[in-house]
């Protein structure tokens, strides 16, 4: 099933997005609701909270007085962390049970207000952030919840800011306009991305890059890679494998095809099969069928075997190269990246060659790269640079 993390600051309209996704067919798991369930009267969770904060956090009926508890923890970092240590493990366990009960082809949306704060982003196939300007949020909190401005500002300040949320967001939905405009964004997301993404994950189908156009450099590529790497690292845990951003999008300022190249280093190709294959596929990175290798540098000395995975996300093509640590192909990917990062003249030459190749065969991803003689020459220049600078991968 597809797992989507949904978050946004208080007053952003996240609940409206969640409701619309449910209308479209999503299975919603509301973290706030789950959090209330695990501290309901008679639960072990409530008993631990009372032991930690005393009966002053209970109402007259013996239930948790959330306002009283909030008054204790929102201004006290240590108290908030004690509370989180009690509630978060229980919320995770209950959430896992709800996910397990969903249908295999479900699109499960976890509505988690503190998704960023507790570091949950890598556990989802996709993270959706609802973003709204602070003045608008303050107006909504006063209008819809009767919250005075000072309290609203305090609650907003206690959460992650928009910058931290955007850093983990695969999708940002802006909610500064009408409800109809928000619904239109949600509907497009559901139709164009979530439904096909779920199908691709379930069928272990890779999204192939389409037509190759002359692209401009995208300054967000490193951030996109960081999100992908975090997801991959979580999927492969507890194995602690080296993961690198390689290829053209790893070179700042270099115009390139909008495909993120990721390299995962393994002790041997046998380690690239079996469990690793399944874990990557379940995380949204299925294996590309067939046998894959890199053409060697210099040419004519055999093939550098590897495993190749892609992305099931229709909006984010990925080439995930699984290579053996220390192998020629692994080293070459890092050497080329670092040489191009260090030498602006060779970046310009590389870009010119790539554009000529794309013009010659615009429908083929990476067309001609492996066998064009410029790359053999660049390999020799890069090796000379490595020897002069003492470069190590």
Q: Are 249 and 256 in contact (CB under 8 A)?
A: yes
In this prediction, residue 84 carries a pLDDT of 87
Segment 157-188, tens digit of pLDDT: 878 888 899 999 999 999 998 999 999 999 99
In this prediction, residue 358 carries a pLDDT of 59
Segment 129-152, tens digit of pLDDT: 999 888 888 888 888 888 888 888
**Is the pLDDT at 357 greater than 80, yes or no?**
no
Give the range among 39-43, 214-218, 247-251 with minimum mean pLDDT: 214-218
pLDDT (mean) for 54-78: 88
pLDDT (mean) for 17-24: 96
Nearest alpha carbon to residue 213 among 369, 361, 374? 361
In this prediction, residue 364 carries a pLDDT of 45
pLDDT (mean) for 53-71: 90
pLDDT (mean) for 6-24: 92
Q: List the structure tokens of 20.
A: 């619309």
**Where is pLDDT greater, at 74 or 286?**
286
Nearest alpha carbon to residue 286 among 295, 273, 277, 294? 277
Quickly state the pLDDT bin for 363 (edges 50, 70, 90). Answer: very low
Measured CA angle at 45 (ends 39, 50), to 5 deg: 95
State the pTM of this model: 0.86
Segment 311-351, tens digit of pLDDT: 999 999 999 999 999 999 999 999 999 999 998 877 777 77
In this prediction, residue 366 carries a pLDDT of 46
In this prediction, residue 114 carries a pLDDT of 86
Question: Using H for helix, E for strand and C for coil, what is the string for the chain?
Answer: CEEEEEEECCCCCHHHHHHHHHHHCCEEEEHHHHHHHCCCCCCHHHHHHHHHHCHHHECCCCCECHHHHHHHHCCCHHHHHHHHHHHHHHHHHHHHHHHHCCCCCCEEEEECCCCCCCCCHHHCCEEEEEECCHHHHHHHHHHHHCCCHHHHHHHHHHCCCHHHHHHHCCEEEECCCCHHHHHHHHHHHHHHHHHHHHHHHHHCCCCCCCCCCCCCCCCCHHHHHHHHHHHHHHHHCCCCCCEEEECHHHCCCCCCCCCEEEEEEECCHHHHCCHHHHHHHHCCCCECCCCEEECCCCCCCCCEEEEEECCCCCCCCEEEEEEECCCHHHHHHHHHHHHHHHCHHHHHHHHHHHHHHHHHCCCCCCCCCCCCHHHHHHHHHHHHHHHHHCCCC
Average pLDDT across the chain, whole number: 89
In this prediction, residue 372 carries a pLDDT of 67
Quickly state the pLDDT bin for 284 (edges 50, 70, 90). Answer: very high
> Up-side HSE of residue 392: CA atoms within 13 Å toward CB?
0
In this prediction, residue 368 carries a pLDDT of 45
Residues sharing a CB contact under 8 Å with residue 228, sequence separation 6 or more, in sequence order: 260, 262, 316, 318
């Amino acid at each position: 099933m597809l797992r989507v993390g949904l978050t946004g600051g208080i007053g952003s309209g996240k609940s409206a997005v969640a409701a619309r996704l449910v209308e479209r067919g999503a299975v919603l798991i509301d973290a706030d609701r789950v959090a209330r369930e695990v501290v309901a009267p008679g639960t072990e969770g409530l008993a631990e909270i009372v032991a930690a904060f005393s009966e002053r956090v209970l109402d007259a009926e013996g239930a948790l007085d959330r306002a009283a508890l909030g008054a204790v923890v929102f201004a006290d970092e240590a108290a908030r962390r004690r509370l989180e240590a009690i509630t978060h493990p229980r919320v995770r366990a209950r959430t896992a049970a709800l996910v397990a009960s969903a249908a295999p082809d479900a699109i499960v949306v976890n509505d988690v207000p503190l998704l960023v704060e507790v570091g949950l982003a890598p556990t989802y196939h996709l993270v959706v952030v609802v973003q709204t300007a602070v003045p608008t949020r303050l107006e909504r909190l006063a209008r819809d919840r009767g919250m005075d401005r000072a309290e609203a500002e305090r609650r907003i300040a206690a959460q992650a800011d928009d910058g931290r949320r955007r850093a983990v967001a695969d999708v940002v939905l802006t909610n500064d306009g009408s409800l109809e405009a928000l619904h239109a964004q949600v509907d497009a997301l559901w139709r164009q991305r979530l439904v096909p993404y779920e199908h691709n994950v379930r069928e272990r189908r890779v999204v192939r890059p389409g037509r190759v156009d002359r692209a401009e450099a995208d300054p967000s590529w490193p951030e996109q890679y960081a999100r992908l790497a975090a997801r991959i690292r979580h999927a492969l845990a507890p194995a602690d494998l080296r993961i690198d951003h390689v290829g053209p999008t790893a070179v700042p300022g270099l115009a390139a095809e909008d495909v993120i190249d990721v390299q995962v280093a393994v002790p041997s190709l046998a380690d690239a099969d079996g469990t690793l294959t399944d874990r990557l596929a379940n995380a949204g990175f299925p294996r590309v069928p067939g046998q894959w290798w890199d053409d060697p540098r210099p040419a004519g000395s055999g093939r550098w075997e590897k495993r190749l995975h892609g992305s099931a996300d229709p909006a984010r093509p990925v080439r995930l190269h699984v290579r053996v640590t220390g192998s020629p192909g692994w080293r070459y990917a890092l050497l080329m990246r670092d040489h191009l990062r260090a030498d602006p003249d060779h970046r310009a030459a590389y870009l010119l060659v790539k554009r000529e190749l794309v013009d010659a065969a615009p429908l083929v991803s990476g067309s001609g790269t492996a066998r064009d003689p410029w790359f053999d020459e660049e390999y020799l220049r890069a090796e000379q640079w490595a020897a002069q600078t003492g470069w190590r991968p």
